[in-house]
Amino acid sequence: MSHPFSFEIQARCSQTKARVGLFHTPHGWVETPRFMPVGTLANVKTLTPAHLKDAGAQMVLSNTYHLHLQPGEKIVAGAGGLHRFMGWDGPMLTDSGGFQVFSLSKINTITEEGVTFRSPHDGRLINFTPELSIQIQNELGADVIMAFDECPPYPATREAVVKATERTKRWLERCIKAHKRPDQALFGIVQGGVHADLRQQAARDLVEFDLPGYAIGGVSVGEPSALIEKIVQVTTPILPFNKPRYLMGIGTYREMAQAIAAGIDLFDCVIPTRLGRHGAALVQGERWNLKNAQFREDFRPLDATCPCYTCQNFSRAYLSHLVRAKEVLGYTLIAIHNVTELIRFTQRIRESILNHRFAEEFQFWLTSTDAEATLEDDEIDKRSDH
Ligand SMILES: [Zn+2]
């Protein structure tokens, strides 16, 4: 095997920076742009791998932080790796745990060495380092693994963001040294908060490592949505054109459409399954609460144009009944639809780029709702990526 990873650009949009690509991994290819469902604890909540295949999922995420705490990477490795453990034979990606350590855990100390925090399960102290994150991800065995990064909160002082961004770069060097498996691609993560110059410097620093793919992290941490679009717009032109670009934790229609227009290829978000567990369906750009009275006697499918199992077989009234009765099947059926819906949204964008109709067909989503938002820097590098 020469190199198990490659990224082909198959088409480009003439009006935006959107592109259509094919990302090859040891477990198959991913057509981009593409939404990736999140299986935090080695399962996409309420869905089986068969549901995911039917929904059009090609690459699925899982999480290093959560799997380290439960059941532990040794058990996953003992099962033959994450693909076999969870019964998913397609491409997989594991997040490094950086985001979760900084957002979910009770942090004890952050030092150059790593982060010490208390396990939310038994209170024991855990020391997460770049080396440990990579060692765990090597044992889990996903196709794409992520560098361990320091994710500053929002808002944060510029000084704090500078420190976190510089540390993320030094931690990346340690991740690269610790990484032992050539059948796994290590992606770097651009940090830099809402500061355009810090984002751009971080991207330039990352590119020097010539990685197989690049991610933009530290977004969707509480900043206005329009800032995410601007962060993506100033960062992507610096990332290599011929490598996959992944915007972490993003999965709303508007944010995905705008990021695709700026040249992003991959997305992930827990939103479709989380909404499903709250009885909310994503239908052609809207969010419907199926507990609402209007659905009780509505015998139409959620979306007559949707090919998913839920829309082909069940009515809004039935889903409303299941959700009101708190039946688990209701959450599964809505999650099947929601995951299908977001994947289809990125598939439809992919087709529109191929047909040279992206800017027209998705104009509604490409128009920003909050044009006033500006990044906290005006020395924005306007170099283009070609
Ligand atoms: Zn559906």
Cβ atoms of residues 62 and 39 within 8 Å = yes
Is 66 flagged in the annotation as binding? Answer: no
Marked catalytic residue, from 205, 268, 303, 370: 268
Q: Spell out the residues 6+ positions from residue 257 whose beta carbon is closer than 8 angstroms to its own.
A: 349, 362, 365, 366
Query: Is 298 known to be catalytic?
Result: no
360: phi > 0 → left, psi -120 to 50 → alpha, else beta; which? alpha
Of 314, 233, 212, whose CA–CA distance to 4 is shortest? Answer: 212
pLDDT at residue 336, rounded to an integer: 98
The pair of structure tokens assigned to 383 is: 């170099």
Q: What is the DSSP letter of 369?
A: S
Cβ atoms within 10 Å, residue 23: 27
Is 311 flagged in the annotation as binding? Answer: yes
Is 263 flagged in the annotation as binding? Answer: no
Q: How far apart are the C-alpha atoms of 134 and 95, rounded to whole Å?
A: 10
28: phi > 0 → left, psi -120 to 50 → alpha, else beta; which? left
Q: Distance of CA 312 to CAs 245, 275, 303, Å?
A: 34, 20, 9
| 4-268 is classed CATH 3.80.30.20 | no
CA 167–ligand 1 middle distance (angstroms): 44
The pair of structure tokens assigned to 125 is: 């102290």
Sheet holding 266-269, edge to edge: 34-37, 266-269, 245-247, 214-216, 185-190, 144-146, 92-95, 60-63
Cβ atoms of residues 379 and 197 within 8 Å = yes
Peptide bond into 26 cis (omega under 30): no
150: phi > 0 → left, psi -120 to 50 → alpha, else beta; which? beta
pLDDT at residue 377, rounded to an integer: 53
Q: Spell out the residues 6+ positions from residue 256 whose beta carbon is closer than 8 angstroms to its own.
A: 33, 35, 250, 264, 267, 342, 345, 346, 349
pLDDT at residue 368, rounded to an integer: 67
Cβ atoms of residues 262 and 358 within 8 Å = no
Three-state DSSP at 148 gives coil
CA 105–ligand 1 middle distance (angstroms): 36
pLDDT at residue 382, rounded to an integer: 39
Q: What is the mean pLDDT of each run of 10 residues along the chain (386 residues)?
A: 86 98 98 98 97 98 96 98 98 95 83 93 92 98 97 92 97 98 98 96 98 96 91 98 98 96 98 96 96 98 98 98 98 98 98 98 86 55 39
Q: What is the pTM of this model?
A: 0.95
CA 26–ligand 1 middle distance (angstroms): 30
CA 313–ligand 1 middle distance (angstroms): 9
Q: Spell out the residues 6+ positions from residue 72 whose beta carbon is closer than 8 angstroms to its own.
A: none
Calculate the CA dihedral of residues 30, 7, 382, 35 and round it to 10 degrees: 10
CATH 3.20.20.105 residue spans of the chain: 4-268
Residues with Cβ–ion distance below 5 A, ligand 1: 306, 308, 310-311, 337
Is 39 flagged in the annotation as binding? Answer: no
pLDDT at residue 67, rounded to an integer: 97
Is 285 flagged in the annotation as binding? Answer: no
Exposure of 81 in the CB half-sphere (CA atoms within 13 A): 17
Is 217 flagged in the annotation as binding? Answer: no
Three-state DSSP at 241 gives coil
Query: Is 377 known to be catalytic?
Result: no
CA 367–ligand 1 middle distance (angstroms): 26
